[in-house]
């Protein structure tokens, strides 16, 4: 057994959106297993309660609380932060993981309301959240924000164009948060997953051709799994990443490399 405090989150409070299933759930589990109190959020209270109970049982402590909120509604995010303060205290770690894709097709055909919803949930909601928790972090002189973007930010697409545009805008937001809040000890980073086997992306991986492609072309020879994001959440949330901010970290089995 190696003794290290580098990844210790004891006493830390994490607030997460999009955390009742998929990658958010895996990250919530990892943060709680490393000692954090975690408020998980999504739209459905029932699923949140089930997820919180499952993680609490696994870690052997009542560390996870579920609070329903639609990330696209500012008022609900304000209430979420208030409830987080009541349940757990001031926020040390923010994980903006909720994301939507409401249009599959060319950007020339996207209806205005689909464009607005995509940008609101994927970008603006994360700015609202950052502003809501920043005072907690400024008071402590320390905090970590992480937001789930996508490798879709790095390339155009004739089917997921506005989704990719919103995720590139999110990386832009992250860089600005890092610039503006860095002097107060707050870090902000983006997580960019490749294709991950969650419900969100089922249409993209749930067919033999996609699996065959992943298993033969991705350098690590498989699709991503939600659990692949546990380590990064702990790393970004903890002191282990204390000199890292304004970065977009790609977790994709090597399917996208810097070029
Ligand atoms: N899976 C991939 O291949 C992939 C790749 C790149 C990036 N991403 C990004 O990764 C993030 C998480 O996706 P995932 O694959 O883990 O999805 P998932 O398994 O489908 O989980 C999505 C979570 O977000 C919640 N959610 C959805 N819309 C919401 C909203 N408007 N407000 C609040 N919560 C909401 C869902 O619960 P409710 O439905 O109850 O609200 C659920 O907890 C997203 O930002 C996505 O864009 C995914």
Residue 141 pLDDT exceeds 80: yes
Tokens of 186: 């707050």
**33 part of a folded domain:** yes
Query: Which amino acid residue places its CA nearest to atom 19 of ligand 1?
Result: 22
Cβ of residue 253 lying under 6 Å from some atom of ligand 1? no
The whole domain housing 114 covers 13-250
Residue minimizing CA distance to atom 37 of ligand 1: 42
The predicted structure's pLDDT at residue 259: 60
- Residues above pLDDT 70, as percent of the chain: 100
Tell me the catalytic residues. 163
Residue 212 domain flag: yes
Instruction: Establish if 257 belongs to a structural domain.
Output: no
Considering the domain boundaries, does residue 255 fall inside one?
A: no
pLDDT in tens, 40-95: 999 999 999 999 999 999 999 999 999 999 999 999 999 999 999 999 999 999 99
Q: What is the pLDDT of residue 168?
A: 98
Is pLDDT at 120 greater than 90 in this prediction?
yes
Ranges 13-27, 74-88, 203-217, 235-249: which has the least confidence: 203-217
How many domains does the structure of the chain reveal? 1
Describe the strand order of the beta sheet including 93-96 as a list of residue ranges: 64-66, 37-40, 13-17, 93-96, 143-148, 186-193, 248-251
pLDDT at 25: 98
Q: 17: CA distance to ligand 1 center in Å? A: 9
Mean of pLDDT values over 132-154: 98
Which atom of ligand 1 is closest in space to residue 18's alpha carbon?
24
CATH of the domain at 137: 3.40.50.720
- If you measure from the C-alpha of residue 231 to the centroid of ligand 1, how many angstroms do you get, rounded to a whole number? 18
Tell me how far the alpha carbon of residue 2 lies from the centroid of ligand 1, in angstroms: 34
Confidence at residue 2, expressed as pLDDT on a 0 to 100 scale = 82
* 28 close to ligand 1 (CB < 6 Angstrom): no
* Residue 146 domain flag: yes
Q: How far apart are CA 182 and CA 47, in angstroms?
A: 35
Question: In the predicted model, is pLDDT for residue 101 greater than 70?
Answer: yes
Q: What is the mean pLDDT of the chain?
A: 97
Residue 109 lies in a domain: yes
Query: Tell me, what's the pLDDT at 122?
Result: 98
Domain-located, residue 195: yes
Evaluate: CB of 121 within 6 angstroms of ligand 1: yes
Determine the atom of ligand 1 nearest the C-alpha atom of 195.
Answer: 3
In a domain, 154, yes or no: yes
Question: What is the per-residue pLDDT across 217-246, written as a single tens digit (0 to 9) for each?
Answer: 999 999 999 999 999 999 999 999 999 999
Q: What is the pLDDT of residues 176-186, one digit of tens each?
A: 999 999 999 99
């Amino acid at each position: 057994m190696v003794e290290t405090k580098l990844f210790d989150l004891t006493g830390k409070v994490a607030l997460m959106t999009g955390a009742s299933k998929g990658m958010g759930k895996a990250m919530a589990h990892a943060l709680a297993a490393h000692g954090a109190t975690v408020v998980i959020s999504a739209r459905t209270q029932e699923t949140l309660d089930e997820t919180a109970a499952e993680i609490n049982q696994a870690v052997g402590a009542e560390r996870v609380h579920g609070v329903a909120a639609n990330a696209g509604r500012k008022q609900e995010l304000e209430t979420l932060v208030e409830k987080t303060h009541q349940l757990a205290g001031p926020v040390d770690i923010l994980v903006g993981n909720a994301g939507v894709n409401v249009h599959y097709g060319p950007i020339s055909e996207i209806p205005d309301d689909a464009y607005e919803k995509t940008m609101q949930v994927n970008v603006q909601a994360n700015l609202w959240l950052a502003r809501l928790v920043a005072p907690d972090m400024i008071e402590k002189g320390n905090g970590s924000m992480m937001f789930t973007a996508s490798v879709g930010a790095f390339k155009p697409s004739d089917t997921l164009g506005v989704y990719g545009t919103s995720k590139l805008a999110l990386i832009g937001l992250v860089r600005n948060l890092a610039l503006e809040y860095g002097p107060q000890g707050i870090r902000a980073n983006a997580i960019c997953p490749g294709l991950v086997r969650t419900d969100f992306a089922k249409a993209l991986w749930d067919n033999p051709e996609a699996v065959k492609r992943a298993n033969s072309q991705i350098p690590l020879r498989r699709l991503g799994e939600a659990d692949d994001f546990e380590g990064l959440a702990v790393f970004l949330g903890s002191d282990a990443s204390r000199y890292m901010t304004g970065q977009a970290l790609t977790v994709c089995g090597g399917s996208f490399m810097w070029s």
